Amino acid sequence: MKVAVLVSGNGTNLQALIDAQASGALAPAELCCVISNRPDAFALQRAQKANIAADVVDHKAFADRTAFETELIAALERHSAEAVVLAGFMRILTEGFVTRFRHRIINTHPALCPAFPGIHAPQQAIDYGVRLTGCTVHFVDAGVDTGPIIFQESTPVGPADDASSLHQRIRALEHRLLPRAVQLLANGRLSLDGRHVVIATD
């Protein structure tokens, strides 16, 4: 399965996918391209270093979200992408885009969904005073971090934590769980029963 990765920033989750591919742990998934909506995203350099096609579709160059997504889909089609991973991609996708890749878009979010959707989730968790937070790997639907959950894992929130230290621990969970979810998708082992993701056994 050819998998495209959409990025906006540093790309640590992308690097986890690249490392998994290099070790053989992503097969039969293959990273076919990395596309950023920001031309200065460091993730593009990670892709180039790994000899993965790296493209830019700058959302600022388009009049509206529909025009941006039309070009984004065209770029995905040029690379024959069959599935999409959002790895720090800071744009909300429309229902039309999600339908185009129905049940083939995976995202990771640094909170235990449905808690703390959107941006700054680790800081939201600290501000709320929760004792546990974590990460969620999920299918993408038309909402914000509301899609069916594939994996979740928790980490405690300590009294000395700030958003940076907490996010660092959450990222370690994401880096382990996201490649596993992509590998399961490529193997045809993920299916949906309503909102429940069913993982077929080996």
Q: What digits encode the pLDDT tens for the residues 131-174?
A: 999 999 999 998 999 999 999 999 999 999 999 999 999 999 99
Q: Which is catalytic among the residues 59, 79, 109, 175? A: 109
Q: Is 120 a catalytic residue?
A: no
State how far the Cα of 39 lies from the Cα of 163, in Å rounded to an integer. 26
pLDDT bucket at 87, cuts 50 / 70 / 90: very high
Average pLDDT over every residue of 65-89: 97
Output the pTM of the full model.
0.96
Say what angle helices 121-128 and 163-186 make with each other, to 10 degrees: 130
Average pLDDT over every residue of 21-34: 98
E strands within the chain? 2-7, 30-36, 54-56, 83-86, 105-109, 132-139, 149-156, 190-193, 196-199
Answer whether 66's CB lies under 8 Å from 21's CB: no
The predicted structure's pLDDT at residue 126: 97
